[in-house]
Amino acid sequence: MLRRRGKWGSQLGFILAAAGSAVGLGNIWRFPYMTGENGGAPFVFIYILCVIIIGLPILLAELAIGRHTEKNPVGAFKNLAPRSGWFLVGLLGVATGIGILSYYAVIAGWTVGYFFKTVTGAFSTQLTAEDSKIIFETFVSNPGLVMLCLFVFIVMTAYVVRGGVSKGIERWSKILMPTLFIMLVLLTIRSVTLPGAVDGLRFYLQPDFSEITLTTFAKALGQAMFSMSLGMGAMITYGSYIGKKESLPSSAAWVCFSDLSVALISGLMIFPALFAMNISPEEGPGLVFVVLPTIFARIPGGLFFGTGFFLLLSVAALTSTISLLEVVVAFLVDQYRWSRTKAVVSMSALAFFVGIPSALSLGASTWLSNIPFVNRGFLDLFNIILGNYSLIIGSFLIALFVSYKWGIRAVVAEVRRENNIFYFRRTWAFLIRYITPIAILAIFVYIMITGNYF
């Protein structure tokens, strides 16, 4: 068990793996869809604030907890606060991880499906927004197909996690993640030069602050947590594999910067095209799958770009699902001495079964597609409860834990190990002690009073 620890070869190796966990569908699929549903530019503005003021400090705290204890989230809390209830925070994280994995793999499966669709020429150069929407709806309402895609994706995830987060995936990410970034930029250039793109830019970038409510705040904060893989111990787990010499603040800053820039560029790619094609920003979880093919149809070499894009997006999703499964596996292996294989096989099977209702919730099953009272599909609901609220609660508890239980000084000592420098430690301490808990509490009180959960 000890030999498994400290496995990132270098600081760069760790940054790539953690950025791989952070950058994924959260940036390219979830961010545009949440932005579209929540009014555009004001949401983007609050999101950026949340990433820097709340996300970055929590990221650093999680990494410090992980590196100090060299444990999975449950083991880490047990180690730092023995004989107390804090380990439940870790347990909440592990459960949330399985839940997020279950529906995340559904969307990831769609990207694989869309890769094959594009290769086989399903999207013609004449493609209109209506055609694209019909293609999407036909695809996601085919129960056999979506379940097959989900299955394929879970198997890929299990395969990689089974072998340990191998050098292979690190080496791959090094080449593939920058390629994805370049493609994003090229597609963005096409998108902003489409006729009618200006309205999209306005929607995305020109905030009207009168529209901001605390519900917008809750969604933006949840999106920040989701996108940075925070609030459920993924970064505690990844932190447990960091060498003692590495600088935590600079790693955290790199991860944060790459994650934020990919999200912001994705929005720049989606919204101009969306407005140019007359698609509604409130399209929901299908948003990018409807918009993207219309861009590919209007670009020279669209087939090449389309296939390349969905392939790379699948890889980005895979580096994220790996981190979700790794948390649960590390927990079972450390705490219950399960073999890695047993943990991987049983937990990926669990994620598959829990994922089925999500997979069927975009048309394949009428009931699951529009659940009474909440008027949302199952996937959408899971995405809000687990991807938003559970992560926010987790982050809140982590902030309280490092501030008032483990202690600011202990974190500072961990960061400063081996003479590392911690420049903004006062700012960090202030944010995590006061700003994070108060902001989250205010949001929850507001939501409970108004009943505006969704």
Distance CA 385, CA 36 (A): 19
Binding test (CB under 6 A) with ligand TRP, winner from 324, 393, 397, 432: 324
Task: Tell me how crowded residue 329 is: count the other CB atoms within 10 A of its CB.
Answer: 28
Q: Which of 15, 17, 25, 295 binds ligand TRP (CB under 6 A)?
A: 25
Task: State both tokens at 368.
Answer: 């699951």
The encoded tokens of residue 220 equal 């933006």
Q: How many residues bind ligand TRP (CB under 6 A)?
A: 16
User: How far apart are the two ends of the chain, measured CA to CA in Å?
Assistant: 43
Query: Closest CB to ligand TRP belongs to which residue?
Result: 26
CA-based diameter of the chain, in Å?
65
437 and 400 Cβ atoms separated by less than 8 Å: yes
**Of these, 323, 369, 388, 436, which contacts ligand TRP (CB under 6 A)?**
323
Question: Looking at 61, 197, 232, 381, which residue binds ligand TRP (CB under 6 A)?
Answer: 232
Among residues 13, 20, 26, 285, which is the contact residue for ligand TRP, using CB under 6 A?
26
- By beta-carbon proximity to ligand TRP, the closer residue of 73 and 363 is 73
Which residues inside 90-149 make contact with ligand TRP, applying CB under 6 A? 100
The amino acid occupying position 299 is I
Segment interacting with ligand TRP (CB under 6 A) among 183-191, 318-326, 432-440, 444-452? 318-326
Question: What is the footprint of ligand TRP within residues 334-393 (CB under 6 A)?
Answer: 391
3-state SS record for 216-230: HHHHHHHHHHHHCCC
DSSP for 230-262 reads -SSSHHHHHHTTS-TTS-HHHHHHHHHHHHHHH
From its phi and psi, is residue 419 left (phi > 0), alpha (psi between -120 and 50) or beta? left
Q: What torsion, rounded to 10 degrees, do the Cα atoms 290, 349, 388, 170 define?
A: -80
Regarding 22 and contact with ligand TRP (CB under 6 A), the answer is yes
Stretch binding ligand TRP (CB under 6 A), from 133-141, 173-181, 276-284, 316-324 = 316-324
The least distance separating ligand TRP from the CB of residue 450, rounded to whole angstroms, comes to: 26
Task: Find out whether 102 and 318 touch, Cβ atoms under 8 Å.
Answer: no
Site for ligand TRP contains 320 (CB under 6 A):
yes
**One residue of 139, 226, 271, 396 binding ligand TRP per CB under 6 A:** 226
Chain-centroid distance of CA 203 in Å reads 23
Residue type, 279: I
Are 344 and 165 in contact, with CB atoms under 8 Å apart? Answer: no
**Could you give the 3-state DSSP secondary structure of residue 300?**
coil
Q: Does 57 bind ligand TRP (CB under 6 A)?
A: no
Q: Using CB under 6 A as the criterion, what x/- string covers residues 243-282 for binding ligand TRP?
A: ----------------------------------------
Residue nearer to ligand TRP on the CB measure, 105 or 364: 105
State which amino acid sits at residue 206.
Answer: Q
| Count of positions (residues) in the chain | 454
Q: Which one, 23 or 41, has the nearer CB to ligand TRP?
A: 23
Backbone angles phi, psi at 142, to 5 degrees: -95, 100
User: Scanning residues 388 to 417, which ones bind ligand TRP (CB under 6 A)?
Assistant: 391
Q: C-beta of 18: minimal distance to ligand TRP in Å?
A: 10
Instruction: Rule CB under 6 A: choose which of 177, 234, 264, 440 binds ligand TRP.
Output: 234
CB of 375 to ligand TRP, least distance (A): 25
Interface residues with ligand TRP (CB under 6 A) are 21-22, 24-27, 100, 226-227, 229, 232, 234, 320, 323-324, 391
